[in-house]
Amino acid sequence: LFDDLASEIVAEVNEGQRQLEADYIEILKGNGITFYSIDREPLKEMTKSVIDEFGKANPNLVKYVEGIDAAR
């Protein structure tokens, strides 16, 4: 029972992260910037100033995206 619950929680967290990343990519596309695809392939580097500017409004999302960059 516990393993099933843990698996469900992990799946929900992973889906939430994928959705955040997808939303982030759409926002960047709207600004003419492409960052990472869902499979984490780097498409184009983001400048630090763009990350900083976006981070003022979305600090948690930017931390997640920076974490992807750090994991490359």
What tens-digit pLDDT sequence spans the chain (72 residues)?
777 888 887 888 778 777 777 777 677 666 655 555 444 555 455 556 666 676 676 666 655 555 555 554
Q: Which residues contact 55 (CB under 8 A, 6 or more apart)?
A: 62, 63
pTM for this one? 0.36
Closest to 24 (Cα-Cα) out of 9, 7, 6, 46:
46
